[in-house]
Structure 1
Amino acid sequence: MSDGQYLAHGIGGAKDLPISPELAIAGAVAALTVSFTVLALAWRKPRYDAATSGRPAPAFLERVVDATAFRVVLRVLGMAVFLYGAYAAVLGQDLLTNPVFGMFYVWWWVGLVPLSLLLGPVWKAISPVRTINLLFARVSGGDPDQGVFTYPERLGVWPAAIGLYAFVWIELVYPFSTELGPVRLWVATYVAVMLLGGALFGNTFYERADPFEVYSSLVAKLSPWGRRDGRLLVRSPLANLDSVTVRPGLVAVVAVLFGSTAFDSFKESTPWVKFIQSSDVSVQLLNNLAMLSFVVGVGLIFAVGTMATGVGPGTDRRTLPNQFAHSVVPIIVGYIVAHYLTYLVQVGQQTLIQASDPLSKGQDLLGTGDWGVNYWLSYHPTLLANTKVLAVVIGHVVGVVAAHDRAIRLLPKRHQLTGQLPLLLAMVAFTVGGLYLLFAA
């Protein structure tokens, strides 16, 4: 597989292999069947409670994870990778073989998902901007948790949603996404905004405004690792998902994550390619409008689905979308796994090989320069197709269960079943639409 095959998505094509119509239909039917089964037969009392769920992690594991030395090692590792990438970005050549592109689009963006699923909120632990802010605080004698101002609660995670949109825009829409200058400018702007925000609002800014920390922490809610009162917990992913903090802008975050991934499939579909080729309107304008429409459309469909239900006394319908937004996270993760699996595995390997020669001068600094990419996944199309459909359907099932548990806690008894139908239909639409786009691409 040549490098040229990867040029459609940042530095590469995100799609794996087209799935068969039979698999897409089977997945859609399974999603529908399981959804209504859960709705009809599942429990009638809430099972997940962030305040009580989970059990303490083994004492030795908690000691290791909470040890200062362990945390320092993680910060040094994150900082080392960041500085190595900066070295390649500043001194390296503007070629697709520059590892910066793979580090930016593959390791950073897609790689955060499996790492967060397995290990918890990884970006919070290794974030170089947190590390730099910590060093500044130590030098000045300040407290990295405290800023000059208190972070406004009304902002919630809206800044993170804007930052995520800025990333997917340069990745999927910007016509010069494979040039070194724009990538350098994007990262420099990100670092500058994060450091300024950390100085003004302390570490709270990173928890709510750093797009990668919010992204990683949301995905980490599907891991078995959690925290309560400072203690490390082991709990089921569904119980962990229930602990997502409800803040303004949470729907916007999930809409950007899901809508942009769906758009990435859509822009490679035959109908869209034919349309932009026959249109007199600028391709960039059309792609901008299409991605914005996908993101806004996902947000509106979800908001309408959650608000179109009976509510109890004292419940504001406008708060329901953010209350249920956590249930979209499993669908997002399932679709990302389905959409980016071979992209991560194969282009991720290629990036590691290229990283050994950051300046494109024939160096082999990491000893990986003579490695080859293993294309085993691409050589097993049936396994890939089944994995795609299974990931989307499992994500849908987990999302439906999470929404059901939250609904029977929030909705009055007379609306606990019928009140879930609009949201259920919205989630089924997301899943069926995602399967269709995987097939269409």
Structure 2
Amino acid sequence: MHRRTPIRVSTRLVAVLWFLIAVSGHALAHGASLQGDSKSLAVPLWLFILTGGGVVSASFLLASFITDRSFIRTIHQWQRFTSRSADGAVFVTKVVGVFALLAIVAAGWFGPQTARENLAILAVWVGWWAAYTISVYVVGNTWPAFNPWRTVGELLPSREANYPERLGAWPSVVGLLALVWLEVISPLADKPEMLADVIAVYTVVTLAGILLYGTERWFGTVDPIARVFRYYGRVAPLRRTDSGFEFQLPGARLTETKLVTGFDEVGFVVAILWVTTYDGFVSTPLWSDVVRPVADAGVPLNVAYLAALLGGYGLFLGAYRVATRLSRDTADTYLTPSAIARRFAPSLLPIAVGYHLAHYVSYFLSLSPTLLGVLSSPLDPPQAVYIVLPAWFGGLNMAFVLLGHLLAVWVAHATAYDVFPNRMQAIRSQYPLVAVMILYTMTSLWIVSQPTLTPP
């Protein structure tokens, strides 16, 4: 009876969400890009979301039949190597990174102040946060070479002060949440001068941190951008080594024991997952309906957005903690919930990757001609040109979300067989974790299905 209780709790969590969606009506599902264009799918919304949750559930059932440890190990240890060196390209990328930083700040301060004509706006949101981030989890983490603040920091002296170990990675969690909150509540995507000001402040804070704690400590522990790209890079099949390049299957490196070493790093992984969700949620009609009466009651919008950011993060982190505690019971193991949380946290990263792809591929493709036009003539940019994507692209965005969750289920399955000695322990340990993944899946699909609105 003791083992069945956590399973019942996990099942009820999913069942409650399914019920709420089921009684919410038969609205059409929509796939929306960041520009707000929506494309209808002729299926009831509740059926669309339940189908997504069912796909993840079915993938877990199918993965459960794969119980041969040697086969799972063979898949995750499969590698191919090449001795090609990228040492010569590293210097070039460092120069490009520093030049790009200077050009972006200069364009923000002195360039055209129309968003779609300004190099800073397009380079940061379309070129960097959309296209470059996608490249990180597709071909590997090249940010240490491109990072202009690291390049400059390596030339600066440092006091090498002792970093307060009790803080761990929590400053990077706060930094990531703060950056996303600032992006949402301020017109950073429309005001080039404000974007340049924020980058300048970020530069001052970063260089001060480097002077105090050193380059490696700052970018290894505190800097949120470096940590995001480091984790995203572990999803990629390609990795640069001292002798060349190493190729593995996507997500294979997420089962490594030392990838997440403390609950502070668990908190950051959950933060990555949450902020991608939050960025889409605050553009949905539901959020607009919620925040309007709050604003009418005299509550500042900035406070409402902050409360949603922190509250949602608390819910995501709390759901994951509950799942790991239930996982300990279902597996009947001596491992602590904290140890289980650390080992399974990397399996959440493919979910964030899938949602980022769904959120930004169409955005990048639509605005790429405008970005190329401004790059060719930043001082006298041509008229903005957009690519109108076909209607079926909305379905592709849904596929990105599902593929990310399917990869997450497989990574969790492989991790379970690496952690637990008994096969049934490995399978039972995943019940609560898969339940939480299904909740994440259905939430992501619901957000992607909504028509996109501009935040008030």
* SS of equivalent residue, structure 2 residue 387: coil
Offset of residue 429 of structure 1: 0.6
Distance 1:392 1:325 in 2: 18
Distance 1:371 1:194 in 2: 34
* SS of equivalent residue, structure 1 residue 232: strand
* SS of equivalent residue, structure 2 residue 156: helix
Equivalent position to 2:260, from 241, 246, 253: 246
Among all aligned residue pairs of Structure 1 and Structure 2, give the percentage whose two residues are the same amino acid. 22
Aligned to 1:34: 59
- Larger mean Cα displacement after TM superposition, 162-171 or 148-157: 148-157
Q: Is the 8 A contact 2:237 2:248 kept in 1?
A: yes
1:13 aligns with 2:34: yes
Q: Is the 8 A contact 1:112 1:122 kept in 2?
A: no
1:259 aligns with 2:274: yes
Q: Is the 8 A contact 2:347 2:408 kept in 1?
A: yes
Q: Structure 2: which amino acid aligns with 1:247? A: T
Q: Is the 8 A contact 2:139 2:239 kept in 1?
A: no
Aligned to 2:143: 123
Q: Name structure 2 gaps, 5 residues minimum.
A: 1-32, 452-456
Offset of residue 36 of structure 1: 2.6
Distance 1:171 1:282 in 2: 16
After superposition, residues 73-112 of structure 1 pair within 5 angstroms as: 73-96=92-115, 97-112=117-132
* SS of equivalent residue, structure 2 residue 130: coil
- Larger mean Cα displacement after TM superposition, 124-133 or 179-188: 179-188
Distance 1:259 1:46 in 2: 34
Distance 2:372 2:37 in 1: 20
Distance 2:106 2:308 in 1: 35
Distance 1:156 1:226 in 2: 26
Distance 1:339 1:397 in 2: 18
Aligned to 2:446: 436
Q: Is the 8 A contact 2:141 2:229 kept in 1?
A: yes
Offset of residue 403 of structure 1: 1.0
Offset of residue 75 of structure 1: 0.8
* SS of equivalent residue, structure 1 residue 233: strand
- Larger mean Cα displacement after TM superposition, 184-193 or 400-409: 184-193
Q: 1:298/1:108 Cα in 2 relative to 1: closer, same or farther (>3 Å)?
A: same
1:408 aligns with 2:417: yes
Q: Is the 8 A contact 1:78 1:128 kept in 2?
A: yes
Q: 1:265/1:319 Cα in 2 relative to 1: closer, same or farther (>3 Å)?
A: same
1:177-201 CA distances to partner (integer Å, 9 max, x unpaired)?
A: 6334442332122212222222323
Offset of residue 397 of structure 1: 0.9
- Larger mean Cα displacement after TM superposition, 104-113 or 421-430: 104-113
Root mean square deviation of aligned Cα: 2.9
Distance 1:387 1:31 in 2: 17
Equivalent position to 2:184, from 162, 169, 172: 172
- Larger mean Cα displacement after TM superposition, 385-394 or 251-260: 251-260
Q: Is the 8 A contact 1:16 1:342 kept in 2?
A: no
Distance 2:112 2:251 in 1: 46
1:207 aligns with 2:220: yes
Offset of residue 418 of structure 1: 1.8
Aligned to 1:186: 198
Distance 1:198 1:113 in 2: 24
Distance 1:136 1:128 in 2: 13
Q: 1:132/1:32 Cα in 2 relative to 1: closer, same or farther (>3 Å)?
A: same
Equivalent position to 2:436, from 419, 426, 441: 426
Q: 1:105/1:371 Cα in 2 relative to 1: closer, same or farther (>3 Å)?
A: closer
Q: Is the 8 A contact 1:16 1:343 kept in 2?
A: no
Q: Is the 8 A contact 2:260 2:266 kept in 1?
A: no
Offset of residue 49 of structure 1: 6.9
Equivalent position to 1:354, from 364, 370, 374: 374
Aligned to 1:335: 355
Q: 1:81/1:73 Cα in 2 relative to 1: closer, same or farther (>3 Å)?
A: same
* SS of equivalent residue, structure 1 residue 341: helix
Q: How many residues align?
A: 404
Q: TM-score, normalised by structure 1?
A: 0.82
- Larger mean Cα displacement after TM superposition, 324-333 or 94-103: 94-103
Q: Name structure 1 gaps, 5 residues minimum.
A: 1-11, 138-145
Q: TM-score, normalised by structure 2?
A: 0.79
Offset of residue 91 of structure 1: 2.0
Equivalent position to 2:406, from 385, 390, 397: 397
Q: Is the 8 A contact 2:105 2:200 kept in 1?
A: no
